[in-house]
Amino acid sequence: MYSNILSISNFVYIASAFVLILSFIVRKKSLDVAGKSLFVLAFFVEFLYFTLRFIETYQKGYDYLPVTNAFESFVFFTLCLGFLQTLMIKKTSGFIVLFSSIVISTTLLALSIAGFSQHIEPLIPALKSNWLVAHVITSFLAYAAFAINFVASSFVLYSSQKRIDKIVGSIMFGGILSLMFTAVIVSITHSSPLVVGIVFLVLISTMLFVLSFILKPYTSKEWIEKPLVFGFVLLTIGIITGSIWAKYAWGGYWSWDPKETWSFITWIVYLINLHFARKKKSARFLAYLGVIGFLSVLITYLGVNFVLPGLHSYGSN
């Protein structure tokens, strides 16, 4: 049915990335505008998919927002990232939009081969709560804001004149690109994801490191600080609403479940980031904190949900 709409959205995100890459090569403003316009179009196509899934959920008699299983949560994360990037599209560097597009397309490509269930099913009683909806929306918007903070931070390091910064930035961006290419190759050849991923990471990071010397240093702190503040506020609200939901669902506000523990750690990490941002630290210093912060987000979401056992685990799905 409408599942093809998600594939179309991903295709447009990839097209946006290619146009933005071309704009850097030929240095034409018109291509930059075209690439950003394609990104916005891709977001609205994905929003259409999410809306249709939401309608189907209600038509089946299930009164909930489709953000409760692994497949839906990844789609919702990419939707949140697309939404925030669209809001800031005019003032954001094309390079940041480029890698936001790549993060989204990589996630959607990985979803296509991960084998997660896409069926719409009734919720267990513990998940039937409006507090859950508030918790999920604020948490994923926070993750999306931190993803933009991460991309901007990596760009500051990648374009730096210091060799160690270029290496770190190249590895960060190389990691994102290698995930995308690995997802494509593994889906075609059924090779080992680990081996293919490492090969792509080394090759792409090396190539990016060489190309980084043609860039002028990007030292703006605007797109490090704005998503940081926005994400921290939303993460705080997400933790509070999650605690209230836990009280109704399991009888206690806090149980030191792995997800709760790592959410608290992530909150502390970004509180430190926010503190140093208010202390007017350099863009380079904040960039390293941004990278560390997003690694904490990845552990909080991916590590806890798919590796560590707990109330938030998707392992049983």
Query: Residue 237: its pLDDT value, please?
Result: 96
* Helical (H) or strand (E) element with 75: helix 70-87
For residue 317, what pLDDT band results from cuts at 50, 70 and 90? very low
Asked if the model's pLDDT at residue 112 lies above 80, the reply is no
Asked if the model's pLDDT at residue 316 lies above 50, the reply is no
Burial of 188 from C-beta contacts in 10 A (0-12 / 13-18 / 19+) = exposed
> What is the mean pLDDT of the segment spanning 175-181?
83
Choose the most confident range, by mean pLDDT, from 27-36, 104-113, 174-183.
27-36
Query: Residue 41: its pLDDT value, please?
Result: 97
The residues, ordered by sequence, that sit 6+ positions from 103 with a Cβ below 8 Å of its Cβ are 78, 81, 147, 151, 176
> What is the mean pLDDT of the segment spanning 303-310?
60
Residue range 254-296, pLDDT digits in tens:
788 888 888 999 999 999 999 999 998 999 999 999 999 999 9
Query: Residue 127: its pLDDT value, please?
Result: 72
Asked if the model's pLDDT at residue 314 lies above 60, the reply is no
Query: Residue 308: its pLDDT value, please?
Result: 54
Q: What is the C-alpha to C-alpha distance for residues 199 and 241, in angstroms, rounded to an integer?
A: 42
Asked if the model's pLDDT at residue 121 lies above 90, the reply is no
Query: Residue 17: its pLDDT value, please?
Result: 93
**Least confidently predicted of 149-163, 165-179, 181-195, 265-279:** 181-195
Q: Which long-range contacts (CB under 8 A, 24 or more apart) does 156-162 make?
A: 156/218, 156/219, 156/220, 156/224, 156/283, 156/284, 156/286, 156/287, 157/284, 157/287, 157/288, 157/291, 158/208, 158/212, 158/215, 159/212, 159/215, 159/216, 159/217, 159/218, 160/217, 160/284, 161/217, 162/284
Residue range 260-270, pLDDT digits in tens:
888 999 999 99
Which residue is listed with tokens 């081969």?
A: 113
Query: Residue 315: its pLDDT value, please?
Result: 39
> What is the mean pLDDT of the segment spanning 178-190?
77
> What is the mean pLDDT of the segment spanning 238-249?
87
Q: What is the C-alpha to C-alpha distance for residues 208 and 216, in angstroms, rounded to an integer?
A: 14
